[in-house]
Amino acid sequence: MNPRIKITGISGSLRDNSSNTNILRQLAAMIPAEIDFTIYNGIGGLPHFNPELDGEKPPIPVESFRQLLKETDAVIICTPEYAFGVPGSLKNALDWTVSSGELVNKPLALITASLSGGKAHAALLDTLTALSTNITEERSLLISFIRSKLDEKGFIKVPELLRALQTLLRSLAETCRQEHNSR
């Protein structure tokens, strides 16, 4: 029997009460029951990317991160924009996968939830293309003015946004199922 489908969420914000992490938590509740969804919260603990550390024995947090990505069927990145760009800790995490290739052909969904966010979203789409991930338009969602779309507890209060997230999840889950069944 095929093992269960695994999806990993990565938030680009390290804040405790992050809108992006809250969105991932809500996706966890929306995900189909046959899929395991976990949020990886270790990007803040990865060392700064240095090609000289990326040899036979990379740093332990990097090894664990790579192993987790290897074992996951798909990844959902949900991130804010900082200073018109991608948060450094998220870009750093992605840089650690360039030489080892865990994200090559991996089904990906990208959500940028920020005040505006367009620049980080475009830059990340470029990076995810450079990494040869399997990302499609259906699985790419830019949410501007995010704070006005969440209630005081961090829950999404805009029905169209919930529907857009459902569509994105459906597309990702379907891709995972197809890949899973073809193994």
Ligand X SMILES: Cc1cc2nc3c(=O)[nH]c(=O)nc-3n(C[C@H](O)[C@H](O)[C@H](O)COP(=O)(O)O)c2cc1C
Site for ligand X in 16-55 (CB under 6 A): 18-20
8 versus 18: smaller Cβ distance to ligand X: 18
Taking 3-state DSSP, the helix, strand and coil percentages for the chain, each rounded to the nearest 5, stand at: 45, 20, 35
Give kind and range of the element (H or E) at residue 39: strand 35-40
**Under rule CB under 6 A, which residues in 112-171 are in contact with ligand X?**
114-117, 146-147
- Of 13 and 175, which CB lies nearer to ligand X in the complex structure? 13
Alpha carbon of 8 to those of 40, 132, 149, 155, 170: distances in Å? 7, 18, 24, 20, 15
- Compare residues 9 and 117 and give the one whose CB is closer to ligand X: 117
CB of 97 to ligand X, least distance (A): 22
Residues 82-111 that bind ligand X (CB under 6 A): 82-84
Among 8, 10, 80, 89, binds ligand X (CB under 6 A): 80
Contact 33, 101 (CB under 8 A): no
- Residue type at position 183: R
Q: Which is nearer to ligand X, 19 or 133 (CB)?
A: 19
Q: Using CB under 6 A, which of the segments 15-23, 31-39, 88-96, 173-181 binds ligand X?
A: 15-23
Do residues 121 and 112 touch, judged by C-beta distance below 8 A? Answer: yes
Query: In the 8-state DSSP scheme, what is residue 85?
Result: B
Interacting residues toward ligand X by CB under 6 A: 13, 15, 18-20, 80-84, 114-117, 146-147
